[in-house]
Amino acid sequence: MSETIVTCKNCGAGFSGKYCNRCGEKVYKEHDKSMLHFFEDAVHFFTHFEGTFFNTLKTIFSKPGKLSLDYCNGIRKKYFKPLPFFMFLVLLYLIFPFFSGLNMPFKYYLKTGSYANDLIAKKTSIDMDSLTRAASAAVVAQNFSTQTKASAFAAKYLDSAIKKIPSLYKTESAFTKKSEKTSKVLLLILLPLTAIVIAFLSIRKRRYFFDHLVLATEINSFFLLFSFFIIPLVTTILFKLLPAMAAKTVNEFSIGILSYTMLCFFSAISFRRLFNDKWWYSLIKAILVVVAHFYIVQVIYKFILFALTFYMA
């Protein structure tokens, strides 16, 4: 008995079965137009989303590199696609900003980046170098015993100085408003830059750049999850339960060390699993990738973020 040939309403191709062989459009019947099916679609979406999302999350934390290995080998159905997964994490980070993360305040750039002073001076005609030198001189005059106290004083000094200059205060307000969203969306640039580093270190493997990009996405997904979701949660708990100890141990430096140490181990295991490298070589590659990642974040990312946000503001 021959099967009935159906003409696809989407692309016009002839086929047999439930789905078009050319475009994948489904053949809808009476049941598909019922109210019950309407809600069945919603249930299917959430159950499918939950299954693939949590399976991807579990795989990343339990078996670093396996997501990339499976995805590059064509095993994809049970996983959330790497790029949409990363973008979903960025979206969560945007909606629920548990931690300021890489969204640095305006005055941070005044203290650390000469390029910021130059760009601001061109836009506002304010001698920013004189302002930052005055802030540094004020800090030195106070002779603080710790760097933390000195940094806090410098921040207050700059806040007060900025408020006294209307055009600069207006620029800071506009910058702060724009940077919150821009800093998170711009995280996407970490993917190709990290992939280039991995590809260079793994050039003898002769793999497609696609494979390196998938692994870079998994590594940065872990970085985002651990640094901007897990660490803020743990530090919040520490400050609630052990405030004295947390005040002494939790700071930008300790958080950075912990975050990049974990990223190094995650990367080493991932290289071992995906590229079948020896352990010692995987660890060396991981250290180099972490150093490069730190440079990408602290120099390239922050420069692009400031310049882009500044001109948008």
* Statement: residue 193 has pLDDT above 50: yes
Beta bridge partners of 7: 14
* Statement: residue 187 has pLDDT above 70: yes
Average pLDDT over residues 199-218: 93
* Statement: residue 5 has pLDDT above 50: yes
* Statement: residue 45 has pLDDT above 60: no
* Statement: residue 1 has pLDDT above 70: no
* Statement: residue 117 has pLDDT above 90: no
3-state SS track over the chain: CCCCCEECCCCCCEECCCECCCCCCECCCHHHHCHHHHHHHHHHHHHHHHHHHHHHHHHHHHCCCHHHHHHHCCCCCCCCCHHHHHHHHHHHHHHCCCCCCCCCCHHHHHHHCHHHHHHHHHHHCCCHHHHHHHHHHHHHHHCCCCHHHHHHHHHHHHHHHHHCCHHHHHHHHHHHHHHHHHHHHHHHHHHHHHHHHHHHHCHHHCCCHHHHHHHHHHHHHHHHHHHHHHHHHHHHHHHHHCHHHHHHHCCHHHHHHHHHHHHHHHHHHHHHHHHCCCHHHHHHHHHHHHHHHHHHHHHHHHHHHHHHHHHHC
Residue extents of the structural domains in the chain: 1-33, 82-101+184-312, 106-176
When mean pLDDT is compared across 100-104, 137-141, 262-266, 301-305, the lowest value belongs to: 100-104
CB neighbourhood size of 246 (10 A)? 17
pLDDT in tens, 51-95: 688 889 999 999 999 999 999 998 888 888 899 999 989 888 877
Angle between helices 128-142 and 114-124 (to 10 degrees): 130
What mean pLDDT is reported for the chain? 83
| Residue 60: predicted pLDDT | 95
Single pTM value for the model: 0.79
Torsion, Cα 136 140 144 147, to 10 degrees, reads: 40
Please say whether the beta carbons of 286 and 267 come within 8 A: yes
Please say whether the beta carbons of 273 and 222 come within 8 A: no
State how far the Cα of 278 lies from the Cα of 272, in Å rounded to an integer. 7
Average pLDDT over residues 180-205: 91
pLDDT in tens, 148-177: 677 777 778 777 877 888 887 887 888 888
